């Protein structure tokens, strides 16, 4: 009679539960009508505060009690991800980190290789802790790329607003027309901010300033400040808008050059190592013959 080790049974149960949770998360969910109606109402609401089912709410409430856990609202707002999605990804990766050493231990045990029980236990905790922080690093990189993309969109938005002002459009009208021209996600966020300001009977530059504060985008706040001067003081801001757009493009180009130089410097290390290895391989036969004589 073949006796199945308890480690294999426990690992199979945990693996089955993980697969079930993964299938449930990948299954298409019905649209959230509450969030859609709230967005149409024009009331401001942080995108990161929009959660899904009651299970997501419970998961977020549980994770908030973990010591040292911080919700990166600004980065999540920038990439358009909710807290529930972020926490769900972290939990699934941590669960996967717990399962991988247990599965490896079960395979080794089934193959007749004995391992102390505390080895996979500590290994599972270490891997789970490491994979728990993977979404944080990924979110940081995504937010950095999204912020750079938004800066390029802000430069184009500055030019469009300047052209609108040159065509004798009012400050608010220039902002609305310029935002309606673009079709990217950055222009969509600007359109949402202007729509919320319009519904809330606020000035459009106040809506842009709130969006810049939420996403940490000083370039958008500059647009709001310049247009506010035109709306309150009647100042001619065409030259100011074009100058700010040009300076922003120069800044972005300098950052691209700096990034390219850093990438080139990092490539010198692998190239140097390849040359050293090549020299060792070519010179080893001659050196070995010299010492063998």
pLDDT in tens, 238-268: 788 888 888 888 888 888 888 888 777 777 7
Residue 192 pLDDT > 80:
yes
Residue 202 pLDDT > 60:
yes
Average pLDDT over residues 186-208: 87
Q: Tell me if 82 is assigned to some domain.
A: no
| DSSP conformational letter for 49 | G
Cα distances from 195 to residues 43, 143, 218, 238, in angstroms, run 10, 24, 20, 24
Average pLDDT over residues 65-91: 83
Cα distances from 259 to residues 149, 250, 251, 255, 262, in angstroms, run 15, 14, 12, 6, 5
Q: Summarize pLDDT for 136-152 with one digit per residue, the tens.
A: 999 999 988 888 888 88
Q: Tell me if 96 is assigned to some domain.
A: no
Cα distances from 10 to residues 22, 78, 110, in angstroms, run 18, 41, 13
Residues whose CB is less than 8 angstroms from the CB of residue 72 and which lie 6 or more positions away in sequence, other chains included: 86, 136, 139, 143
Measured CA to CA, the distance from residue 188 to residue 206 in angstroms comes to: 17
Q: Tell me if 216 is assigned to some domain.
A: yes
Q: Summarize pLDDT for 67-78 with one digit per residue, the tens.
A: 777 888 888 888
Closest by CA position to 103, among listed 14, 4, 201: 14
- pLDDT reported for residue 31: 52
Measured CA to CA, the distance from residue 205 to residue 225 in angstroms comes to: 7
Give me 141's structure tokens: 């990189």
- pLDDT reported for residue 42: 44
Q: Summarize pLDDT for 98-110 with one digit per residue, the tens.
A: 888 878 877 777 7
> Could you tell me the residue range of the domain that residue 169 belongs to?
147-261
Residues whose CB is less than 8 angstroms from the CB of residue 7 and which lie 6 or more positions away in sequence, other chains included: 102, 105, 106, 109, 117
- pLDDT reported for residue 4: 63
Closest by CA position to 48, among listed 87, 76, 11, 7: 76
Cα distances from 159 to residues 107, 150, 167, 239, in angstroms, run 62, 14, 12, 10
Predicted confidence band of residue 170 (pLDDT cuts 50, 70, 90) = confident
Alpha-carbon dihedral sign for residues 243, 192, 184, 75: positive
Q: Tell me if 208 is assigned to some domain.
A: yes
| DSSP conformational letter for 235 | -
Q: What's the distance, CA 199 to chain centroid?
A: 30
Which of 57-66, 97-106, 192-201, 214-223 is modeled with the greatest confidence?
192-201
SS3 call for 81: coil
Predicted confidence band of residue 61 (pLDDT cuts 50, 70, 90) = confident
In this predicted structure, which of 54-58, 99-103, 114-118, 157-161 has the lowest mean pLDDT?
Answer: 54-58
Average pLDDT over residues 123-135: 88
Percent of the chain with pLDDT over 90: 0
Q: Tell me if 8 is assigned to some domain.
A: no
Is the Cβ–Cβ distance between 165 and 241 less than 8 Å? yes
Measured CA to CA, the distance from residue 170 to residue 191 in angstroms comes to: 17
For helices 134-166 and 238-292, angle between their N-to-C axes, nearest 10 degrees: 140
Residue 60 pLDDT > 60:
yes
Give me 82's structure tokens: 């909710």
Q: Summarize pLDDT for 20-53 with one digit per residue, the tens.
A: 766 665 565 555 555 554 444 444 444 555 545 5
* Sole residue written with tokens 């004798």: 168
Q: Tell me if 84 is assigned to some domain.
A: no
Q: What mean pLDDT is reported for the chain?
A: 77
Number of domains in the chain: 1
Which of 9-13, 79-83, 110-114 is modeled with the greatest confidence?
79-83
- pLDDT reported for residue 283: 77
Q: Tell me if 205 is assigned to some domain.
A: yes
Q: Tell me if 266 is assigned to some domain.
A: no
């Amino acid at each position: 009679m073949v006796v199945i080790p308890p480690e294999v049974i426990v690992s199979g149960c945990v693996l089955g539960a993980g697969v079930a949770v993964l299938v449930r998360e990948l299954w298409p969910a019905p649209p959230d009508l509450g969030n859609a109606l709230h967005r149409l109402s024009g009331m401001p609401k942080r995108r990161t505060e929009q959660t899904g089912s009651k299970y997501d709410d419970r998961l977020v409430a549980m994770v908030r009690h973990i010591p040292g856990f911080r919700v990166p609202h600004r980065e999540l707002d920038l990439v358009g991800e909710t807290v529930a999605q972020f926490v769900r990804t972290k939990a699934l990766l941590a669960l996967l980190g717990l399962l991988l050493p247990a599965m490896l231990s079960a395979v080794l045990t089934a193959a007749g290789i004995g391992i102390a029980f505390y080895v996979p236990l500590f290994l599972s905790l270490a891997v789970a802790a490491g994979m728990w922080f993977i979404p944080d690093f990924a979110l940081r990189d995504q937010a950095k790329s999204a912020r750079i993309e938004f800066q390029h969109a802000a430069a184009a938005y500055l030019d469009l607003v300047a052209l609108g002002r040159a065509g004798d459009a009012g400050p608010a009208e220039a902002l609305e027309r310029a935002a309606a021209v673009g079709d990217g996600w950055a222009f969509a966020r600007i359109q949402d901010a202007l729509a919320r300001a319009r519904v809330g009977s606020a000035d459009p530059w106040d809506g842009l300033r709130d969006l810049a504060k939420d996403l940490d985008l000083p370039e958008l706040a500059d647009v709001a400040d310049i247009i506010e001067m035109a709306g309150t003081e009647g100042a001619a801001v065409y030259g100011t808008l074009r100058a700010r757009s040009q300076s922003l493009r120069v800044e972005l180009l300098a950052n691209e050059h700096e990034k390219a130089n850093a990438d080139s410097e990092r490539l010198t290390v692998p190239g140097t190592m390849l040359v050293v290895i090549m020299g060792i391989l070519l010179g080893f036969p001659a050196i070995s013959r010299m010492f063998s004589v």
